[in-house]
Each structure stands twice: as C-alpha cells, then as structure tokens.
Structure 1
Amino acid sequence: MKIILADDHNVLRKGLIMILEKAFPSAEIEEVSEGTDLIKKVMKQKWDIIISDISMPGLSGIDAIKQIKDISPHIPILVLSTHAPEQYALRAIRAGASGYLTKESAPEELLTAINTLLRGKKYITPEVAEILAEAYGDDFEKAPHEQLSDREFQVLQLIIKGKTISEISEALSLSVNTISTYKARILSKMHVHNNAELIKYAIDNNLM
C-alpha cells in the first residue's frame, strides 16, 4: 500500500507517520509540505490514499484536491485540517475529498477513516453530515461566506487572522494587485465595508 501525506508542519507529519507505520507496517509512506509537490507526486506515481492538509504554502489544499481528481479521479483523499468542519468541510467534499477530520481527532478515528476510504467508501462524521444536509436541503439559503470562491475564502481566512495584503500576497504566491482584487470581491459579496466588519462576521459565524 502506498500512502502520501501532505502537510507543511514537519512535527505533525512525523507524528502522523509514526501512527501510520505502526498501523500499516508494510505501507510505503511519502511526505510533502506543499500542494505543488503533492501534485507532482500524484502525476509520477499511483497512490492508494492521500492524507492532506487544507492550508499549505502556494497551492491550497482545495485547489490540490481539484487537480488530483482531474489526474486520478478514483484516488481517495482524506483531509486532515486545523480548521473546524463548518469552515472547510463542505468545500473539501465538493472539491472531491472522501473524508474530513480535524487534527484534534483521536488516532483511532484517523485509522478508522483511512480504512473506510481504502474500502472505497466515504468517511463522513456526524458533524460533517449535518453540514452537508444543511447545504443540500431544499430550504437552504447560502450564507454570504458560502458564496465566496475557494480562493476568496482562503484570502478571507488570512485577512481575519490579521495578515496584511503584502503578507497574503507572499503566502499565496500571488501579486498584491490580485489579492487586493480578491479582497474587494470579498467585501462586496459579504456586504461589509472593512476588516473590522469581516472579523465580526467571522466571529459570529464561527469562522475563526
């Protein structure tokens, strides 16, 4: 079995590898720290499962999932994120992920999720199931932040963390002008006028 782990936190990767090596002694496990490197690995080799973070330098986890599904539609992807499910789970599942867990999940749940995906099934926690039910219900009306594109939502997350336009530009490897355009779209779509109002919205909607 071949497993690839994508996360930009070295200590976390090493801890996960220890868990995986104990659970799957014969598995071949490789690690990358950026979305672009993950794509390169997927293009070169076949993998049985991918375990990926959402927030990585350069290419985001969501964008990486979409590209992977174009390259290898049947490969299962488990998202393991610091973000609460209500922030990114729906976007990850829509992009093509087969499961979503937070990094606070117990090792036992991680292994259960991996084994579920390896059997060709999706791993949906009760919390994520509720989010999906609300999103696809007949009476569902999109919240303002759900109307953002994946890239706009990624920029929003960085803005509410206090990052400047220049810092976001560097983090996402995009120009300052591009980030400024994204910010303008975010403010317009969310019907707010400044960062303070964005942060208030984020707090009220559990996005921080």
Structure 2
Amino acid sequence: MSPAPDRPIRIALCDDQALVLRGLSSLLSDIGIEVALEAPDAERLLAALPQRPVDLIVSDIRMPGLGGIGLIGALRERGDATPVILLTTFDDPDLMMRAVDAGAQGFLLKDASPEDLKAAIQRVAGGETLLQPVSLGPVRAAWNTPAGTDTGARLTDRERSILRLVAGGYSNKEIARSLHLSEGTVKNYMSDLLVKLDCRDRTHAVLKAITQRLL
C-alpha cells in the first residue's frame, strides 16, 4: 500500500557494510525519507520487520547469508508484499534478472545520485517498478536470443515506445504526458502488452521484450 501523501515514506535499510549503511541512512534522512529500520543482514531485518513495518525496503544485493535476493524470497514466502529496491556496485544483467524473478520492484547501482535514489524510492513506494540500469546487449546475450529469432510476438511502434519508457522507470501518467495520450489509454496498452507477451507484470514484459529483441 502506498504511503499517505501527508507523511514521509518509511523505509528499512539493509547493508552489511556499516559505513554504507550509516551513510545511506543519513543521506535519505536529509532528502526527506524516514529510515525506520536499519539492519546489517537480511536475517535480522526479517526478524525486526513485523514490529516495525515500513513502506519499502532498500537492500544491498550481495551480503553474507541470504543476501538481497534471498531476503525477497523469504518475504514473499511469508506473505509480506513490501516492495524492495536492490542496490549493487555491479552492472550485472544476470543479477538483475534473478532479482526481478525473485520479485524485486527496483534495481539500482550504488553510485546513483541522491536525486535518482529518492525518485526510485518514491516511484516504487507508489506502485511503479524501476528497471535501471538495463544493459540491453548483456541482457540479450545472457538469454542467448539470436537476432531475428521469431518469438511469435509482434509489437507496434507505439507499444515499443511505451515499453521503453516503462524500462526507464516512468509512471503511466508520465508516459501519457510524453506520448500525448490519456493515462487510461496507456493503461489499456499495458494490459494488452501483458497479454501479448504472456507476462504477469510490466517488469517481466520489459525484460521479455528485451531478451526477444522486440525493443
């Protein structure tokens, strides 16, 4: 559930490096994000969350123990749908795909600017997904989809334009404004795209379109 508009977004931070954890906490507090919980590993975060619920979790992807991807798996297994943004120092397409498959709503490099991080938190807390960085070449290579492969799906120019904006983290409202469409029309396009690509959500639709060279 999205936070009420009259209160700051409450997040939990998880990182095994104490200096990174403290630095992120200070940075986010300075830009208006409330850090309600900090933990040095996924296990302690999972134990503390029931007593201190948050709107969103920002976690390192590589940590001893469960790590960020294991954290998401444990959350979903116990029925906790709190959205998660995973941070990494590596632009690794395999990690990104594993994170998305696990149920991550966002994926960012740790060297993202404070403004980009804040925007990512706001978008994901509001129900959007953020697929940045998306390295098209390595993602395609990881899936080994040859150029020109006939996958059965056909996208129109308009559908490709919409998916590219989704990959950039734009909301339906922002996409509508960019393409001079109504927000309802963009939602209809997205519904049709999910059916056409046989995907459960917009994140997987973008990844599938990338790997099948439809974008």
- TM > 0.5: yes
Structure 2 equivalent of residue 60 of structure 1: 67
Asked if the contact 1:99/1:123 (under 8 Å) is kept, the reply is yes
TM-score of the aligned structures, taking structure 2 as reference length: 0.57
Structure 1, unaligned runs of 5 or more? 141-208
Matches within 5 A, 1:185-196: none
Q: Helix, strand or coil: the match of 1:127?
A: coil
* 8 Å CA contact 2:15, 2:21 repeated in 1: yes
Q: Which structure 2 residues correspond to residues 58-207 of structure 1 after superposition, within 5 A?
A: 58-125=65-132, 127=134
In the superposition, the TM-score normalised over structure 1's length comes to 0.58
* Distance in 2, Cα, partners of 1:52 & 1:58: 13
Unaligned runs of 5+ in 2: 1-8, 148-215
Quote the residue 2:26 is aligned against: 18
Question: CA, structure 1 residues 31+134, in 2 after alignment: closer, same or farther (shift >3 Å)?
Answer: same
Q: 1:133 to 1:121 in 2, by over 3 A?
A: farther
Counterpart position of 1:184: none
Whether 2:25 is the aligned partner of 1:7: answer: no
Question: Structure 1: which amino acid aligns with 2:44?
Answer: D
The CA RMSD over aligned residues, in Å, is: 2.5
Which moves more between the two structures, 110-119 or 78-87? 78-87
Identity across the alignment (%)? 29
| d(CA) in 1 for partners of 2:109, 2:86 | 8
Count of residues in Structure 1 that have an aligned counterpart in Structure 2: 139
**Do the aligned partners of 1:52 and 1:79 also contact (CA within 8 Å) in 2?**
yes
Q: Is the 8 A contact 1:3 1:50 kept in 2?
A: yes
1:85-105 CA-to-partner distances (Å, cap 9, x unmatched) read 324111111111101111121
2:108–2:133 Cα contact (<8 Å) kept: no
| SS of structure 2 residue aligned to 1:39 | helix
Alignment equivalent of 1:35, drawn from 34, 37, 42: 42
Residue 83 (structure 1) shift: 2.2
Separation in 1, partners of 2:144, 2:61: 26
